[in-house]
Amino acid sequence: MKRRSLIGSVLMLFPAVVRAQDFDGFVRQAAERNAIPPAWVRAVITAESGGDRGAISGVGAMGLMQLMPDTWRVLRHDLNLGADPFDPHDNIVAGTAYLRWLHDRYGDAGFLAAYNAGPARY
């Protein structure tokens, strides 16, 4: 098998890893701004959307970090972000700020569960 086709085959098997790298600058900036490890942000992106910036869940969560519409509206206003919840920069900025808030509220043991389920259900 030629090297080029082997690499293409591997990339098709792991698209989220490749796509997540496209947003790494945004991840690092947002993580630094919110004083959380970039690995947390990358893990949420991978788990929630598989790195698909256009992802929409069955319950309406949007973008890379799968923000619910009401959460997006509040964060968009508070952080002075643009109107597009699918914009990778704005979605990562909002999602990372939300992770920080949940971590401050629920601590190490509960913030990821609250992110996934929503704080009202955690």
Q: Residue 64, SS3?
A: coil
Q: Which is catalytic among the residues 26, 48, 51, 66?
A: 48
Establish whether 48 is a catalytic residue.
yes
Distance of CA 101 to the CA centre of its chain: 14
Of 120, 110, 75, which is closest to residue 95 (Cα–Cα)? 75
* Distance from C-alpha of 78 to C-alpha of 61, rounded to nearest angstrom: 19
Residue 65 backbone phi and psi in degrees, to 5: -100, 10
Tokens linked to 116: 């996934």
Residues catalogued as catalytic: 48
